[in-house]
Chains A and B, each alone.
Chain A
Amino acid sequence: MAYTLKVNGQSKTVDVPADTPLLWALRDVLDMKGTKFGCGAGLCGACTVHVNGKAVRSCQTQVGSVKGPVTTIEGLSADGTHPVQRAWMEVDVPQCGYCQAGQMMSASALLAAKPQPTDKDIDAAMYGNLCRCGTYLRIRQAIHRAAQLASARPGATSGGGAGRARE
Chain B
Amino acid sequence: MKKKNNTSKSIDRRSFLTVAATGTGGVLFGLVFKADAQQGRGAAKGGPAGGRGGPGGFGAPAAPLKPADFIMVNSDNSVTIIAKNPEVGQGVRSLLPMLIAEELDVDWKDVKVVQADQDQAKYGGQIAGGSTATPTNWIPMRQLGAEARQMFVEAAAETWNVPASELTTGSGKVMHKASNRTATYASLASKVATMQPPAAGSVKFKDPKDYKIIGTTVPSPDLHKIVTGQPLFTIDQTMPGMLYAVYEKCGVFGGKVKTHNLDAIKKLPGIKAAFVVEQPEITAEVLPGDPGLENGIAIVAEYWYQAQAARKKLQVTWDEGSRGTAEHSSTAYAAKAAQIGAGEPMSTTRKDGDPEAALKTAAKKVEANYSYPFISHAPLEPENCTAHYENGKITIWTSSQIPASARGLAAKSCGIDQSEVTVHMIRGGGGFGRRLTNDYAAEAAYISKEVNAPVKLLWAREDDMRHDYYRPGGFQFLSAGLDNSGKVVAWRNHFVTYGAKNDGQGRGPAIQSVSAGGIGATEFPQPFIENYALYTSAQPLAIRTGSLRAPTSNAMAFVTQSFIDELAHAAGKDPVEFRRDLLAQTKPAPPPAAGGFGRGFGGAPFSAERMRGVLDLVAEKSEWGKKNLPKGTAMGVAFHFSHSGYFAEVAEVTVVNKKVKVNKVWVAADIGSTIINPGQAMNMAQGAIIDGMGAMMEQEITVDHGHVVQGNFDTHPLLRISAAPSDIEVHYVKSNNNPTGMGEPSMPPILPAVANAIFSATGDRVRSLPFKKAGYSWA
Interface residues in chain A, defined as those with a beta carbon under 8 Å from any beta carbon in chain B: 17, 20-21, 24, 27-29, 31-41, 43-44, 46, 72-74, 76-80, 85, 88-89, 92, 94-101, 104, 119, 122-124, 126-127, 129-140
Q: Which residue of B lies closest to A125 (CB)?
A: B721
| Contact with B690, one of A40, A94, A124, A134 (Cβ below 8 angstroms) | A134
Most B-side CB within 10 Å, residue of A33, A46, A122: A33
Residues of B within 8 A of A17 (CB): 269
Taking a contact as CB atoms under 8 Å apart, the answer to whether A96 and B89 are in contact is yes
Q: How many A-B residue pairs have CB under 8 A?
A: 188
How many of chain B's residues touch chain A, expressed as a range?
35 or more
> Residue B718 contacts which of A21, A31, A104, A132 (CB distance < 8 angstroms)?
A132
* Alpha-carbon distance A158/B712, docked complex (angstroms): 32
How distant is A8 from chain B, measured CB to nearest CB, in Å? Answer: 10
A20 closest partner in B (C-beta): B305
Known: A132-B432, A135-B687, A136-B721. A94 touches B226 (CB 8 A): yes
Contacts of A78 in B (CB 8 A): 228
The answer to whether A98 touches B430, judged by C-beta atoms less than 8 angstroms apart, is yes
Known contacts A96-B88, A133-B430, A134-B688; A89/B219 CB under 8 A: yes
Determine the distance from Cα of A126 to Cα of B721 in the docked complex, in whole angstroms: 7
Residues on the A chain within 8 Å of B432, using CB: 132
A-B contact pairs, 11 of them (CB 8 A): A17-B269, A24-B305, A36-B381, A89-B1, A92-B683, A94-B226, A96-B430, A119-B726, A131-B690, A134-B724, A136-B724
Contact string against A for B residues 570-611, beta-carbon threshold 8 Å, 1 for contact and 0 otherwise: 000000000000000000000000000000000000000000
**B223 adjacent to A132 (CB under 8 Å):** no
B380 x A96 contact (CB < 8 A)? yes
Measured between beta carbons, the chain B residues less than 8 angstroms from A44 are 380, 713
Name A104's contact: one of B222, B227, B688, B713 (CB within 8 Å).
B227
Q: Contact between B305 and A98 (Cβ–Cβ < 8 Å)? A: no
Q: Which residues of B contact A104 (CB under 8 A)?
A: 227
Partner of B428, one of A96, A122, A138: A96
**CB closest residue in chain A, given B462:** A40
Task: Look across to chain A and name the residue whose beta carbon is closest to the beta carbon of B219.
Answer: A92
Instruction: Tell me, in angstroms, the Cα distance from A86 to B722 when the chains sit together.
Output: 24
> Within the complex, which residue of B88, B89, B228, B244 is in contact with A73, where a contact is CB–CB below 8 Å?
B228
Q: B724: which A residues are within 8 A, CB to CB?
A: 134, 136-137, 140
| Contact across chains for A43 and B379 when beta carbons are under 8 A apart | no
Note all chain A residues with C-beta closer than 8 A to B223.
89, 92, 94, 97
Main secondary structure of the interface of A (DSSP, over half): loop
CA distance A1 to B124 in the complex (A): 52
Contact between chains at B222 and A97 (CB < 8 Å): yes
Majority DSSP secondary structure for residues of B touching A: loop
Q: Give bound CA distance, A132 to B90, whole Å.
A: 12
Chain B residues whose CB sits within 8 angstroms of the CB of A32 once the complex forms: 229
The docked-state distance in angstroms from the alpha carbon of A74 to that of B230 is: 7
B727 at the interface (CB under 8 A from A): yes
Given the known interface contacts A43-B714, A97-B222, the answer about A138 and B683 at a Cβ–Cβ threshold of 8 Å is yes
| Bound form: Cα–Cα A116–B431 in Å | 35
User: Would you call B690 and A98 a contact (CB within 8 A)?
Assistant: no
Given the complex of chains A and B, what is the CA–CA distance between A135 and B679 in angstroms?
A: 12
B80 within 8 A of A: no
Report yes or no: A95 in contact with B713, Cβ–Cβ below 8 A. no
Looking at the complex, which one of B217, B303, B460 makes contact with A28 (CB distance below 8 Å)? B303
Contact across chains for A88 and B227 when beta carbons are under 8 A apart: yes
Cα separation A8 to B712 with both chains bound (whole Å):
31
Most chain A CB inside 10 Å of its own CB: which residue of B217, B244, B722: B722
Of B61-69, B108-116, B231-239, the one contacting chain A is: B231-239
Does any Cβ of A come within 8 Å of B734's Cβ?
no
Q: Are A34 and B721 in contact (CB under 8 A)?
A: no
Q: What A residues does B431 contact at CB under 8 A?
A: 96
- How distant is the Cα of A12 from the Cα of B382 in the complex, in angstroms? 28
With the chains together, A34 CA to B233 CA distance in Å? 10
Cβ A74 vs Cβ B690 within 8 A? no
B378 at the interface (CB under 8 A from A): yes
- B220 on the interface (CB 8 Å rule)? yes
> Does B461 have its Cβ within 8 Å of any Cβ on chain A?
yes
Complex alpha-carbon distance, A79 and B687, angstroms: 28
| Contact A33-B228, Cβ < 8 Å, known A38-B461, A92-B219 | no
Contacts of B461 in A (CB 8 A): 38-41
Chain B residues within 8 Å of A89, by CB: 1, 219, 223-224, 227
Q: B219 and A21: CB pair below 8 A?
A: no
